[in-house]
Structure 1
């Protein structure tokens, strides 16, 4: 699955166009490598996303094309959150 689509489906980022912008700005890494919006992600991958002043590390648990809002958090688990200065 494409990175930007996963971010939208999992509701980590609300819109796919915004997910694409964040990825293209170099604010996301997949398994330690810089990621673009079209990068392919799979189960078990670890994402590090920079949201403003914090870094969020996420592990992908499942991939689904369509998911209900209350089930979206089951697609990933937060490994750690840290503030950056």
Structure 2
């Protein structure tokens, strides 16, 4: 799942970064990726991608979370503890 959702994760982060940085030429780089435990509510597998966005003299890191079986991903700032990947059992 990690490879299959990477482009969608990147696009979610780049779109948000371009808006927040007010920089239409900002680009992204995948810094890391990891599978997450299945959601106890949906049962779907999830993956998290740490993505660095840079452009117009600015840099920011987002965590994009994608869920198998859905068409999209969302990107949140990496300093938001609600979306940071946790180790299984953590």
Common fold by TM > 0.5:
no
TM-score normalised per structure 2: 0.37
Is the helix fraction higher in 1 or 2? 1
TM-score normalised per structure 1: 0.39
Is the strand fraction higher in 1 or 2? 2
Considering only CA atoms, is the larger Rg found in Structure 1 or Structure 2? 2
